[in-house]
Structure 1
Amino acid sequence: MADVAYISCINKDPRYDAYNRITHVGGVGAERWKITTDDAISHIENGAWEFWTKPPVGHGQKVIVAQRNGRKYLKTVADYDTPDNLLSLPECP
């Protein structure tokens, strides 16, 4: 069974491509954590971790791996095509 982590912040590149813009995701569990999106994708694909968003208000959404133009990226189930829910999270320190 996969461990669960809640993403409450992101870091992004100042480019406009929503699919390749997020570079890191992070949150707070027993301590503050932050990993690259490539590491998060690897953890999801190998079944070690399951990630959910932890927005300031509203309901969290499950984070999944998607692919566009041969490039894997993170998005929430509710986003259909683009990673908008993740992009709306605040920047990680």
Structure 2
Amino acid sequence: MNPDGTRWTLSEDVAIAGLKEGKWRFWTAGDKKSVWIVTAKSPSGREYLKAETDWVQPAKLLALPDCP
């Protein structure tokens, strides 16, 4: 949360850049354990975010509920 009570957000591109630069690390909790978020590259060359335990598709991230 921001000091004014609003939620902070990052675009996917900014999050990917921050991960690659070592500026940030992200994780999600599910199945009673934490999982790191990593970058991956599609066959077309587009980078995207996924859970470290996902194979190709970002299934764990896509299954998360939206933030209120």
What is the TM-score when the length of structure 2 is the normalising length? 0.80
Which stretch shows the higher mean deviation, 29-38 or 45-54?
29-38
Deviation, 1:29, is 8.7
Identity across aligned pairs (percent)? Answer: 37
Gaps of 5+ in 1: 1-27
Aligned equivalents of 1:86, 1:29: Cα separation in 2:
23
Structure number with the higher strand fraction is: 1
- Size of the alignment, in residue pairs? 65
CA RMSD of aligned residues (A): 2.2
TM superposition score normalised by structure 1: 0.60
Instruction: Give the number of the structure whose alpha-carbon radius of gyration is greater.
Output: 2
Structure 2 unaligned regions, length at least 5: none
Structure scoring higher RCO (CA < 8 A, sep ≥ 6) equals 1
- Counterpart residue type for residue 60 of structure 1: S
Structure-1 residue corresponding to 2:33: 59
Deviation beyond 2 Å, 4+ runs, structure 1: 28-33
